[in-house]
Every structure is written in C-alpha cells, then in structure tokens.
Structure 1
Amino acid sequence: MEIPFTSTRDVQPNPAAGRYRTLWRWHFYAGLFVMPWLMVLAVTGTIYVFQPQIEPWLYHDRMVVAASQAPRLTEQTLMERAAASLPRGATISSVEVNRDPARSAEFVFRLPGGERESVYVNPYSGEVLGTLSVEHRLMKQVRLLHRAMMLGKPGELLMELAGCWTLVMLVTGVALWWPRGSATWAGALKPRLQLRGRPLLRNLHGVAGLWLAAGGLAFVLTGLPWSGSWGKQFKAIATQAGMGYPAGAWGEAPVRSRMPTKMDDLPIAQVPWAVGDTTVPNSKVPAHEMSAMHGNQGNHGDPEMIGMQGMGASSQADDASAANEHAAHGGGGGKQGLTIAQLDAQGALPIDRVMQIAERKGVSTGYSLVVPSRADGVYTVSYFPPDPRDERTLHIDQYSGKVLRDIDYDAYGGVAQAISYGTSLHMGRYFGAANQWLCALISMGLFAMAATGAAMWWIRRPSRSLGVPARMPMRVPMRGWIVSLVALGVVFPLMGATMLAVWGLDRIWVRRTTKPLRQAAQ
C-alpha cells in the first residue's frame, strides 16, 4: 500500500491520472484501516495452522505417551479415572477419540463453576497425566485473537470488516501495479533488488502484492463464511435455498432418544445397533457396561464451529466442538450436563458400545463423541477429517444404539460443500504439511506487505498531516469502479455502511483541499 502525500506536482489534468489517483486514495483508506488487523490475522493464522504440531509439543507431558503393544483399557474405565481426578459434581461433556498408540486419551468435563477442562489419561496404565483448561489453552487464545481480538461480538464485527476491506486493498493494489504503457509483466513480477530505500520498499510491496493477491483473496473468501454477522446470514440463506448444511450437521441435534418405559428393563433384544447392522442376542447390558456409557465432546479447545461458520480461520475441528456442545444438549436442555453416575443410572449405552457403532459406520478415530446431557438427548459423533468428502455426523439413540441421523458430505448442499473445502484449505489441513506451509507463506507475505505499506507511509507522510493521496480537481468517469463498490456494499452490508462513511469523510476533505489544488494546477 503506497501512500504519497498531497503535492502540487502530482496533480495531472488527465483522466488516466485521475483514475489512478482515485484508486490510490481507496487503497490508502483500505490499507490504513486494515494494516494493524491484517498483521494480527497473519500472525495468529500462521500459529494456528500449525496447531497439530504445536499442541503435542507444548503439552507433551499430557498429550503424548510411549506407544505400547499392551491392550488399552476400556474407554469407560479411562473416563472414570479422569472423573475421579476432578472436583465432585463435574459432568462429562465429550470424548476426543484418537486411536494413535502414542497419544493419551482425552475427556472433556464441565466443572461445577461452569468452565470446561480436558483430562488426559494414559490409555495403557490408566494414570491421569494432567488437565488443561479448554478456555485458557494457548490455541484457544490464538483463535479468539484471530476471530475477534478477544473482544466478543464487537471484535467479530471488526475482524469481518477487516476481511472485507482487505478485498478493496487487494483489488486496488493489483490495479495500481498492473503493467501499463511500456511496462511489462516481467518487470512487474520481478523484484528490483538493486534499488535502495523507499523505492525498494515500493517495488517489493508491489511485486509481492501481485504474487500474493490470489492467496490473499482465497483467505478472505474462505474466512468470511465463518464471520459473526455476514457469515451467519449467508449460511442461513444458503440453508433456506437448500444449498447449506442439513439440520444436525452442526449444532443441536434435530432428533431425540426414545426413553424406555422402565430404566431397569432396557429393550436390548434385537436392537438395530446401527442402520443395516445385525442384531445382538437377547440379553441385558451388564451394569458395569452401563456405567461405561459416557461419551464426550473433546475438540482441541472449544470447537465452536457453529459460530465459526463465518470467518475462517480458525480450525474446523475446533469449531466442531461448539457445535458438539450444542449437540450434547441434543435433545435440548441446559449446559449443566450429567455426571457419570447419573448417566449410568439413566441407563444410557456405555461409551465403548457407542464407539463400536461409530466404527461399524466407518468412523474409527479422530472424532469427537458428545455425551447427551439429558434423558432424551443423543450421542453425537462429529468427524471432520482433512478431506471434506469424508466428513460425517452421527446422532445415536443413547438407549438402543440406533443411528437416528447419518449425515455425510453428500448430504450437504452445494454452498456447504464449498465452505467445507474452503475451511480445510484455509486451515492448512487439506493436503498435509504442504498446505500448512503454503498458508504460512501467504499469511506472512501479507504481514510483510502491511509492514512495508506502513513504512512507506511513514517515510512520505508530511508532518501534521495524514498524507492522503491528492485527488484530481476534475471529475473522472469510473462507472466500473462505482458499480463494483456498490455491489460490494450490497453483498456485505456492514462494509457498505463503512464505505459510505469513508466516502462522506473523503468528500468533506476534498472540499477543503480542492480550491488550493485547482490553483496549483493553474
């Protein structure tokens, strides 16, 4: 973002110069607003994209165990060990199912005070390795910065505006550096490292802008569907049009468990453990298996996918956790949840049995199992792997084990499928480490552009002046530009309001400076 100061020698009475300077002014305004937030987005996004590597390293003593050939303890036993390490009254929320032999078992509980805490247990010995606050772990803080600057709803709107104005900054930047006249693409795409000082900054800024424009545009477009305002409305419209996520893919389960008439006489005979599966013998579930019934919703630190379906960045697995939080109350209900003893008395299926049902449906590891928090709630399996085509959500009756709702990628509407692909790419998950490093390269490249833009502005900024690029004293026809801004404002209403404000302030500024500029032009 190059930001020259107002100078009489810059005023050239011709349409081409006028159009160039108009684009320059909008590039200036966009950059001035976006620069600090773009830097935050770039740094936090780069950190978050390496979450799969950072968290096991940072919390190695809790998340990593020595791989062993010894048999694992049952999930129910591990969950009971985890519960015993917490204060009385803690309720099970979810289980983070990971069959990697070198990873610990993770269970997410809601403590009596309302906060959530992950408990890590050695799957071979049953030793409790430690706990980790869901709300205060590093990656949760990074995600909150990335999404909302830790400012709640106002922060979400601020970062949404930053994403929208980044579109203006990118488009105007490309237009300003686009080869014209005798300039060539070879010169526009190749840095001139022999330059020094501000000319070098300007050259690097422009060249990097052309190289990074496509990646920056992709980041914005894949992130906006998860924004707090526009993203929420966008997904709602897509759903109404039959192109969004089906009910139950995210959030509260649209189905309920059918409660037995007698809790002590469960209808186990010929139960459809999963649609199309064989039946089990007529027998009662042993009491020790009944108590094993809890499932939980671990999701690497508060996956609020429900709200995340707006801005990107963040992790889809993480955001699945908030969706899971709603699904856990699946049948509706408050956030208090149930203790393991209450679940056992309620007669729900043991966790290990539910995991078997999920495995029969093709989901064996890398998913969250959300435990019902009320009598008619359901178990919810939330599986969001790197390849969106393998995404799966299962809602399972907590008493009979019947799969009440099986939602896969093919059940998504066209818009939802595109969002899922975009999210996986945005988070660096789709094609492994190469995707992570590509995201990091684009993010830090955008950071460098913001930094060089700020440096150029500071170098050229006149004392006691903002340094807004001068506007031509003549009207320049730019119908295409005007139509584009109007269209952008209609699609993104929040941004449209801020564009009107910027336009109004700019007109006030122009009235104050037009007369001196016209005199200078004469």
Structure 2
Amino acid sequence: MPPIAPRPAPRPAPTASADASYRMLWRWHFYAGLFVMPFLIVLAVTGTLYCFQPQIEPLLYPHLLKVEPSGDRLPPQRLLDRARVAAPAGATVTNYTLNTDPRASAEFVFRLPAGGSDSVYLNPYTGAYLGSLSVEDRLMKQVRMLHRALLVGKPGELLMELAACWVLVMIATGLAMWWPRLRQRGARAFVPGPATGSRGGWKEIHLALGAWLAVGAVAFILSGLPWTGSWGKQFKALATAANLGRPADGQGDMHAHAAPPASGADHMKHHHTMESLPLADMPWAVGLTTVPSVAPAKTAPLTLDQIVAVVAAQDITTGCQVVFPKAPGGVYTASCFPADPRGERTLHIDPASGQVVKDLRFADYGPVAQAISYGTSLHMGRYFGLANQLICAAISLGLMAMAVTGLVMWIQRKPARKLGAPGHPAALPPMRAWAIGLGLLGAVFPMMGVTLLLVWLLDRRIAGAGGVRTAPTV
C-alpha cells in the first residue's frame, strides 16, 4: 500500500500587525486611485493618440500632408516665395520643415498679425498651394495640450503633474498589497486566478494588470515628469547647476567662425533661450540654452537655399525645423529632434556668412540629459518604430483598464451616499519604511509632499473622530 502523502500545511493566518498594515496600504491605495482615476484615463487616451501621430495626421489631412512625387523638388527659396504669396496679408514666416520623404508636402509656418500661427503647405514638385492649417487648432496639438494641461493652461499643467506623482503612490501601495500573493503563488500571481464573490473577476483582472504594468507605468511617469511646468523646470535647473543637464553656455560655440556679437541694447534684445523660439518640438537638454546673436548684416542675407545647404553639409537633412531670424542680429536656428536621441542637434547659423555660430550635439549633454533624451523617445513611441508605439499603447490602455476596473469595484462595494473608503485599522501599525519612503517621495516632489501631508492629516482626523475601523472585503 503506497504511503499516504502528507497534507499541505495550512496557510498561516495573517498576524494582527500584517492585517493592520494591509488595511493602511489599501486605504492609501484607495485615496491615490480615487484622485488619479479620471486623470489616468485622460493621460492614457491622449497619450495613445499622440503616440500614433505619424499615422493619424496623414489620415486627417491627406490633401495637405501627402503629394505624388513627380520630377525634381523645387528649391526651398522658390517654395518660400510662393508660400509668402499664399500666406495671409501681414503674416511673417517663422519656420521651415526639412523633410526628405518624397511623398511629403513642403511646410512653412507663418505668424499671423492677429496672433497664432498657420502652417502653409505646398506641393514641393510644382509649387502649388495645397492649403493651410492652424498650428494651435490642429487635432494633435489639442490632444497634446489635453495630455499636458487639460486645455486650461498652467492650473491644468500643475494638476496633471500632481496626478502623475500620485500614480507612483498608487503603484507602490498596489504592489505592496500584491506581494504576499506573489510569495504564495509564484509565477501564477501574474495571471488572474479563480473569481470569488461579485467583485472577484474584476479584482483578479485588476491585480494581474497591475503586476504586468507596474514597471512600464513607473517608466512612463519618470520619463514624462522632466517635461512638466513646475517640477520639470526645477529639475532642469538643478541638473544644469550640477553640469548634468543642458550644455553649459559657451559650449558648442564655434569661436573660430563666429561673427562679432551685437553690443549694448541690441545684444540684450536678442539674448533669449531656445524655449522662446516657435518650435513644435525640441530636445529637452537645449531648452534653456542661449540663442546667440550676431552683428547685424550689412549685406543681403543668405537665401533659404544656402541655409539649407549649410544644414545639409552637417549631414543632417531630416527631422529638423529651420527657424528664421526674428530681427536684425538674429540667427537661423536648425533644431533637430529625430527618433534616435543620438541624432539630436541644434545649429545656430549666421544669416550673412552662413557660418555655424553654435553647434550643440548629443555628446555635449550631461548624463542626466542624455538619459532623459532616451526616456523621451521611448515615452513618445519614437525610438524603435511601430513596436515602440504598440508597447506604449499597451501600457497606456492597460493603465486605463486598471482605472476602469478599480472604478467598477468601488461602485459595487461602496454603500449608498458614502465614500466607501477602506476601514481604518483599530491600531495604527508602525510602517516606518513606508513613512520614510513617502517622506522621501514628498521631498523629491514638493507639490506632492504637501498633498501627502494634507491627506495624512485628514486621515488622522477621520480616524480620531471615530471613523470606520473595520475593513470591508475587497
């Protein structure tokens, strides 16, 4: 008679301390999720759309962006002359897009007298006017501004930044609650288990999605925060001060070829940074670099053909925008923001001589700026083509699914006319590691730190006023 296999030891019941810690984690996970939920859905949808901008825009504006190749392309200066005729009266040209795609139209951006800008499109083979499009009102610009600032300017930008920081709290607390499942089930913790109860199916999907998406979500947040209007600017200033970010002023100057700088009031008038230029995109590292000025030309400036030839001689012919000088003493600026960060390049060109006054390359960046350039390219789905786009879309839509499943579970669980927050534990667990971690997180992201403190004080007050101290089942 074969020996009877011993029964597996019963799973040890959680200790009171572990149960209290779980309830506190769940409570903070609930607070973070409740706040983040609507913003996470907006970020996911807009981020996915913007990631596929190269495919979507030609479908939206095929008559403007696409042409049939026929013969040789006209010189850029001749196209500029025709674009000026087609542009609204009083409009001033600001940009020209370099594009070697034979099926792409020629695009010039004009600043309008009443404000705003229009893109004027021409057939590069015939010079025929194809139409114009408002830079500010085009769909992808609106999607991008919704992603960054909810279309309400600075308040929206700060709110989206705060929501992104709270996603980190949501992810950390969610992983901490999931960790015991990983220890018990091993690899099976990454797939939905058998559903129990009315909310069991939603819970299993939520847990599995969270386990798979945690690393990608953190990478999304960390690669997007350097571009934010509050923390991102402070971080850029710190990285610059430590020589880890943008190139230092003077780096990239071509002293042997630079024209004498303007002096006095004229020099101060032209002393501005790259962020002040009318560029749709630019490398993060060069945003605060100074745009040089030169002595006002005493001869006729070079044609656009000659400026484009100067750029082409640097072995960069696509992924760039050429910005025209704004006033006497200004320079042409070629800003290159290709999919591969190593190709990022910023050239400032003397409009009279065609000499490169300043040349900033990826190698000139500090290590932090180089890492951010790679993160940005991956975040936008640009670095390794369609596969990068699909991965970004999967992470974004997966996060949206987590928000939706969390919402469904909350609606099913919460009592009528009550918030339905998880119950407060009868005795507060020490959780020193969590307190230190949240404190460090609040120190790194000060705006989030203030809200963390406010939520903690409010939670203590609710608990002290006799709040619910028993946790309903998830």
- Partner of residue 416, structure 1: 369
| Residue type of the alignment partner of 2:365 | Y
Is the CA contact (8 Å cut-off) linking 1:306 and 1:323 kept in structure 2? no
- Structure 1 CA distance for aligned equivalents of residues 405 and 181 of structure 2: 23
- Partner of residue 98, structure 1: 99
- Partner of residue 506, structure 1: 459
- Structure 2 CA distance for aligned equivalents of residues 39 and 389 of structure 1: 32
Cα displacement string for residues 99-138 of structure 1 (whole angstroms, at most 9, x for unaligned residues): 2110100000101112101000001111010001000000
Note if 1:319 corresponds to 2:272.
Answer: no
SS of equivalent residue, structure 1 residue 477? coil
The Cα of 1:245 is off from its aligned counterpart by 1.2
1:334-353 aligned within 5 A: 347-353=300-306
Relative distance call for 1:323 and 1:150 in structure 2 (3 A) is farther
Cα displacement string for residues 326-350 of structure 1 (whole angstroms, at most 9, x for unaligned residues): 9998649xxxxxxxxxx99972211
Is the CA contact (8 Å cut-off) linking 2:246 and 2:288 kept in structure 1? no
Note if 1:166 corresponds to 2:167.
Answer: yes
| Residue type of the alignment partner of 1:22 | M
The Cα of 1:151 is off from its aligned counterpart by 1.1
| Residue type of the alignment partner of 1:57 | L
- Partner of residue 49, structure 2: 47
The Cα of 1:305 is off from its aligned counterpart by 8.6
Cα displacement string for residues 62-106 of structure 1 (whole angstroms, at most 9, x for unaligned residues): 0100022x1111111111111111222111101011121101000
- Partner of residue 450, structure 1: 403
SS of equivalent residue, structure 2 residue 442? helix
Relative distance call for 1:169 and 1:113 in structure 2 (3 A) is same
The Cα of 1:183 is off from its aligned counterpart by 2.2
Relative distance call for 1:119 and 1:170 in structure 2 (3 A) is same
Match of 2:339 among 386, 392, 407: 386
**Count of aligned pairs:** 441
Is the CA contact (8 Å cut-off) linking 2:281 and 2:337 kept in structure 1? no
- Partner of residue 121, structure 1: 122
- Partner of residue 220, structure 2: 219
Relative distance call for 1:346 and 1:105 in structure 2 (3 A) is farther
The Cα of 1:513 is off from its aligned counterpart by 2.3
The Cα of 1:256 is off from its aligned counterpart by 8.3
The structure with higher relative contact order (CA 8 Å, sep 6+) is 1
Relative distance call for 1:172 and 1:408 in structure 2 (3 A) is same
Q: Which runs of 5+ in 2 are unaligned?
A: 1-13, 263-272
Is the CA contact (8 Å cut-off) linking 1:258 and 1:399 kept in structure 2? no
- Structure 1 CA distance for aligned equivalents of residues 261 and 68 of structure 2: 42
- Structure 2 CA distance for aligned equivalents of residues 200 and 24 of structure 1: 18
- Structure 1 CA distance for aligned equivalents of residues 134 and 103 of structure 2: 22
SS of equivalent residue, structure 1 residue 132? strand
- Partner of residue 204, structure 1: 205
Is the CA contact (8 Å cut-off) linking 1:208 and 1:445 kept in structure 2? yes
**Aligned-CA RMSD value:** 2.9
- Structure 1 CA distance for aligned equivalents of residues 274 and 396 of structure 2: 22
- Structure 2 CA distance for aligned equivalents of residues 236 and 224 of structure 1: 14
- Partner of residue 18, structure 2: 16
| Residue type of the alignment partner of 1:358 | V
| Residue type of the alignment partner of 1:462 | P
Is the CA contact (8 Å cut-off) linking 1:90 and 1:111 kept in structure 2? yes
- Partner of residue 56, structure 1: 58
- Partner of residue 237, structure 2: 236
- Structure 1 CA distance for aligned equivalents of residues 285 and 79 of structure 2: 24
SS of equivalent residue, structure 2 residue 229? coil
| Residue type of the alignment partner of 1:38 | L
Q: Which runs of 5+ in 1 are unaligned?
A: 1-11, 261-303, 308-316, 333-342
Cα displacement string for residues 285-329 of structure 1 (whole angstroms, at most 9, x for unaligned residues): xxxxxxxxxxxxxxxxxxx9949xxxxxxxxx8432999999998
SS of equivalent residue, structure 1 residue 183? helix
Match of 2:449 among 492, 496, 500: 496
The Cα of 1:21 is off from its aligned counterpart by 0.7
Note if 1:157 corresponds to 2:158.
Answer: yes
SS of equivalent residue, structure 2 residue 465? helix
- Structure 2 CA distance for aligned equivalents of residues 124 and 30 of structure 1: 55
- Partner of residue 267, structure 2: none
Is the CA contact (8 Å cut-off) linking 2:335 and 2:346 kept in structure 1? yes
- Partner of residue 278, structure 1: none
| Residue type of the alignment partner of 1:491 | V
TM-score (norm 2): 0.87
Is the CA contact (8 Å cut-off) linking 1:305 and 1:323 kept in structure 2? no
The sequence identity of aligned pairs, in percent, is 52
- Partner of residue 472, structure 1: 425
TM-score (norm 1): 0.79
